[in-house]
Protein backbone atom coordinates (compact mmCIF):
# COMPACT_ATOMS: atom_id res chain seq x y z
CA UNK A 1 0.00 0.00 0.00
CA UNK A 2 2.83 2.41 0.84
CA UNK A 3 4.54 1.64 -2.47
CA UNK A 4 1.35 2.31 -4.47
CA UNK A 5 0.93 5.62 -2.64
CA UNK A 6 4.54 6.70 -3.24
CA UNK A 7 4.62 5.49 -6.88
CA UNK A 8 1.41 7.42 -7.63
CA UNK A 9 1.62 10.70 -5.71
CA UNK A 10 -1.44 12.21 -7.41
CA UNK A 11 -3.72 9.39 -6.26
CA UNK A 12 -5.84 10.01 -3.19
CA UNK A 13 -6.59 7.37 -0.57
CA UNK A 14 -9.87 6.42 -2.26
CA UNK A 15 -8.09 5.71 -5.56
CA UNK A 16 -5.41 3.62 -3.81
CA UNK A 17 -8.12 1.71 -1.94
CA UNK A 18 -10.00 1.06 -5.18
CA UNK A 19 -6.90 -0.27 -6.91
CA UNK A 20 -6.15 -2.59 -3.99
CA UNK A 21 -9.72 -3.91 -4.10
CA UNK A 22 -9.33 -4.56 -7.86
CA UNK A 23 -6.20 -6.57 -7.04
CA UNK A 24 -8.20 -8.70 -4.59
CA UNK A 25 -7.18 -7.00 -1.35
CA UNK A 26 -10.34 -5.83 0.42
CA UNK A 27 -9.33 -2.97 2.68
CA UNK A 28 -11.13 0.01 4.18
CA UNK A 29 -10.46 3.48 2.78
CA UNK A 30 -9.78 4.70 6.31
CA UNK A 31 -6.97 2.14 6.64
CA UNK A 32 -5.50 3.27 3.34
CA UNK A 33 -5.58 6.86 4.63
CA UNK A 34 -4.07 6.02 8.04
CA UNK A 35 -1.11 3.86 6.96
CA UNK A 36 0.62 6.37 4.64
CA UNK A 37 -0.22 9.11 7.15
CA UNK A 38 1.57 7.13 9.88
CA UNK A 39 4.52 6.55 7.50
CA UNK A 40 4.86 10.31 6.95
CA UNK A 41 3.56 10.36 3.37
CA UNK A 42 1.66 13.56 2.63
CA UNK A 43 -1.84 13.34 1.10
CA UNK A 44 -2.33 13.89 -2.62
CA UNK A 45 -2.49 17.50 -3.76
CA UNK A 46 -5.88 19.14 -4.17
CA UNK A 47 -7.29 19.48 -7.64
CA UNK A 48 -6.98 22.90 -9.26
CA UNK A 49 -10.54 23.08 -10.59
CA UNK A 50 -13.47 24.85 -8.98
CA UNK A 51 -14.86 23.68 -5.68
CA UNK A 52 -18.01 21.58 -5.71
CA UNK A 53 -20.04 24.59 -4.52
CA UNK A 54 -18.63 26.81 -7.31
CA UNK A 55 -19.39 24.13 -9.92
CA UNK A 56 -22.99 23.68 -8.75
CA UNK A 57 -23.57 27.44 -8.60
CA UNK A 58 -22.37 27.85 -12.19
CA UNK A 59 -24.60 24.98 -13.34
CA UNK A 60 -27.62 26.45 -11.55
CA UNK A 61 -27.06 29.86 -13.18
CA UNK A 62 -26.89 28.22 -16.61
CA UNK A 63 -30.11 26.31 -16.00
CA UNK A 64 -31.94 29.47 -14.89
CA UNK A 65 -30.76 31.29 -18.01
CA UNK A 66 -32.05 28.50 -20.25
CA UNK A 67 -35.37 28.43 -18.38
CA UNK A 68 -35.83 32.19 -18.88
CA UNK A 69 -35.14 31.90 -22.62
CA UNK A 70 -37.56 28.99 -22.92
CA UNK A 71 -40.22 30.88 -20.95
CA UNK A 72 -39.80 33.95 -23.18
CA UNK A 73 -40.18 31.81 -26.30
CA UNK A 74 -43.31 30.12 -24.98
CA UNK A 75 -44.85 33.52 -24.11
CA UNK A 76 -44.16 34.91 -27.58
CA UNK A 77 -45.61 31.80 -29.26
CA UNK A 78 -48.71 31.93 -27.03
CA UNK A 79 -49.33 35.60 -27.82
CA UNK A 80 -49.27 34.96 -31.58
CA UNK A 81 -51.95 32.28 -31.37
Q: Which domain holds residue 24?
A: 2-38
- Residues counted in the chain: 81
pLDDT tens per residue, range 32-68: 888 877 888 777 766 567 888 988 888 888 887 777 7
43 inside domain: no
Residue 22 lies in a domain: yes
C-alpha–C-alpha distance, residues 13 and 20, integer Å: 11
Exposed/middle/buried for residue 18 (C-beta within 10 Å: 0-12, 13-18, 19+):
middle
Residues 78 and 59 in one domain: yes
Q: Kindly report the pTM of this predicted structure.
A: 0.51
Question: Is 11 domain-assigned?
Answer: yes
Number of independent structural domains in the chain:
2
SS (H, E, C) the chain: CHHHHHHCCCCCHHHHHHHHHHCCCCCCHHHHHHHHHHCCCCCCCCCCCCCHHHHHHHHHHHHHHHHHHHHHHHHHHHHCC
In a domain, 67, yes or no: yes
pLDDT number for residue 25: 92
- Kindly tell me if the per-residue pLDDT of 31 is higher than 70: yes
Mean pLDDT, the chain, whole residue set: 81
Inside any domain, residue 13: yes
Residue 44 resides in a domain:
no
pLDDT band at 22; cut points 50, 70, 90: very high
Amino acid sequence: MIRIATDNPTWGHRRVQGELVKLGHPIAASTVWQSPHDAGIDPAARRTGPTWKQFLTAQARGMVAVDIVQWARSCSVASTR
